Amino acid sequence: MTLTAIIHDFQPSCMRTETGAHSALALPLADENLFARICAALSDVGCKRVTVVPAFEPDARYEDRLRAMAPVDDLSIVTPDQRSEQFLDGEPSDSILLVDSRYYPVDGHDFSPLMDVHREHRGAVFLSGVSREVDEKIERVVVDSAGNVRKVQRIFDQLVWGQNEATVVPACVIPYMLALHGPQFPLSAMRRRLADRGVPLHDLPTPSTAVHLNRREDLLRVCWDSIGSTRCEAREQRRSDRERIFVGQGAVVAESARVVGHVVLHEGARIDHDATVIGPALLGRGSVVGCGATVAQSVLLDHVTVPPRAVVHQQVVAGGSAARPAEPGMTVRRPTPVATDERFRAVLDGRVHDPFGSRERKLMLAVKRTVDIAVSLLGLMVLSPLMIVTIVLAKLTSPGPAFFVHPREGKDGRVFGCIKFRTMRADAHGLQRVIAEQNEADGPQFTIKNDPRTTTLGRFLRKRNIDELPQLVNVLLGHMSLVGPRPSPFRENQVCAPWRSARLSVRPGITGLWQLCRHARDEGDFHQWIYYDTAYVRNLSPWLDCKILFYTLWTLGGMRSMPVEKFLSGSTTVGHGVPAKEPCPVHS
> Which has the higher per-residue pLDDT, 175 or 90?
175
Q: Grade residue 580 by pLDDT with cuts at 50, 70 and 90.
A: very low
Statement: residue 198 has pLDDT above 60: yes
pLDDT at site 368: 92
Q: Please give the torsion angle defined by the CA atoms of residues 416, 419, 423 and 429, in that order, rounded to the nearest 10 degrees.
A: 20
Q: For residue 297, how many other CB atoms are within 10 A of its CB?
A: 19
What SS3 state is found at 344?
Answer: helix
Cα radius of gyration rounded to whole Å, the chain:
30
Distance between CA atoms of 305 and 177, rounded to whole angstroms?
48
Question: What number is the average pLDDT over the span 494-500?
Answer: 63
Partners of 403 in the β-ladder:
421
Is the separation of the CB atoms in 310 and 290 below 8 Å? yes
Partners of 99 in the β-ladder:
7, 171
Strands 20-21 and 16-17: antiparallel
Tell which residue, 310, 308, 300, has the closest CA to residue 280.
300
Statement: residue 541 has pLDDT above 50: yes
For 499-534, write each residue's pLDDT tens digit: 677 788 889 999 998 888 887 655 556 777 778 888
Distance between CA atoms of 122 and 117, rounded to whole angstroms?
9
Q: Grade residue 236 by pLDDT with cuts at 50, 70 and 90.
A: very low
> Which has the higher per-residue pLDDT, 213 or 137?
213
pLDDT at site 338: 33
> Which has the higher per-residue pLDDT, 201 or 30?
201
Residue 79 has φ and ψ, to the nearest 5°, of -75, 155
Q: Fold match between 3-214 and 228-348?
A: no
CATH class of 228-348: mainly beta
Distance between CA atoms of 520 and 480, rounded to whole angstroms?
27
pLDDT at site 106: 77
| Beta-carbon contacts of residue 301 (< 8 Å; ≥ 6 apart) | 15, 22, 26, 27, 28, 284, 287, 316, 317, 318, 319
pLDDT at site 158: 43
pLDDT at site 504: 85
| Beta-carbon contacts of residue 511 (< 8 Å; ≥ 6 apart) | 482, 483, 548, 549, 552, 557, 558
pLDDT at site 91: 75
370 burial type by CB count under 10 A (0-12 exposed, 13-18 middle, 19+ buried) = exposed
pLDDT at site 421: 93
Residues in the chain: 588
pLDDT at site 585: 36
pLDDT at site 444: 57
pLDDT at site 474: 95
Q: Which is it for the CA torsion 15, 16, 21, 23, positive or negative? A: positive
Distance between CA atoms of 287 and 502, rounded to whole angstroms?
36
Is the separation of the CB atoms in 352 and 498 below 8 Å? yes
What SS3 state is found at 375?
Answer: helix
Across the chain, mean pLDDT equals 76
**Which parts of 206-313 are beta strand (E)?**
210-212, 245-247, 252-254, 258-260, 263-265, 270-271, 276-278, 281-283, 288-289, 294-296, 299-300, 305-306, 311-313
> Which has the higher per-residue pLDDT, 587 or 106?
106
Q: Which residues of 128-153 are buried (b: 16+ CB within 10 A; e: fewer)?
A: bbbbbeeeebeeeeeeeeeebbbebe
Q: Which amino acid is at 155?
A: I
Q: Grade residue 69 by pLDDT with cuts at 50, 70 and 90.
A: confident
Is the separation of the CB atoms in 269 and 248 below 8 Å? yes
For 82-92, write each residue's pLDDT tens digit: 654 555 566 77
Partners of 20 in the β-ladder:
17
Stated as kind and residue range, the H or E segment containing 547 is helix 542-554
Tell which residue, 309, 312, 304, 308, has the closest CA to residue 288.
304
Q: What is the DSSP letter of 33?
A: B
| Beta-carbon contacts of residue 145 (< 8 Å; ≥ 6 apart) | none
Lowest mean pLDDT of 171-185, 298-312, 332-346, 478-492, name the range. Answer: 332-346
Q: For residue 516, how many other CB atoms are within 10 A of its CB?
A: 24
Superfamily of domain 3-214 in the CATH hierarchy = Spore Coat Polysaccharide Biosynthesis Protein SpsA; Chain A (3.90.550.10)
Q: Grade residue 346 by pLDDT with cuts at 50, 70 and 90.
A: very low
Is the separation of the CB atoms in 39 and 32 below 8 Å? no
Q: Grade residue 77 by pLDDT with cuts at 50, 70 and 90.
A: confident
pLDDT at site 502: 79
Per-domain boundaries in the chain: 3-214, 228-348, 359-566
For 133-169, write each residue's pLDDT tens digit: 444 455 566 677 777 766 655 554 444 444 444 468 8
Q: Grade residue 293 by pLDDT with cuts at 50, 70 and 90.
A: very high
CA distances from residue 571 to 87, 423, 516, 563, 568 in whole angstroms, order as listed: 72, 36, 16, 11, 6
CA distances from residue 46 to 112, 135, 471 in whole angstroms, order as listed: 10, 38, 56
What SS3 state is found at 376?
Answer: helix
For 378-418, write each residue's pLDDT tens digit: 999 999 999 999 999 998 988 889 999 989 988 888 889 99
Tell which residue, 334, 339, 306, 337, has the closest CA to residue 320.
306
CA distances from residue 191 to 54, 177, 196 in whole angstroms, order as listed: 20, 15, 9
Is the separation of the CB atoms in 47 and 5 below 8 Å? yes
pLDDT at site 532: 86
Distance between CA atoms of 531 and 512, rounded to whole angstroms?
12
pLDDT at site 231: 42
Is the separation of the CB atoms in 297 and 278 below 8 Å? yes
Distance between CA atoms of 302 and 288, rounded to whole angstroms?
9
Q: Grade residue 180 by pLDDT with cuts at 50, 70 and 90.
A: low
> Which has the higher per-residue pLDDT, 37 or 240?
37
pLDDT at site 499: 67
Statement: residue 562 has pLDDT above 80: yes
245-247 sheet: strands from edge to edge: 245-247, 263-265, 281-283, 299-300, 316-317
Q: Please give the torsion angle defined by the CA atoms of residues 38, 42, 48 and 51, in that order, rounded to the nearest 10 degrees.
A: -50
Distance between CA atoms of 201 and 173, rounded to whole angstroms?
10
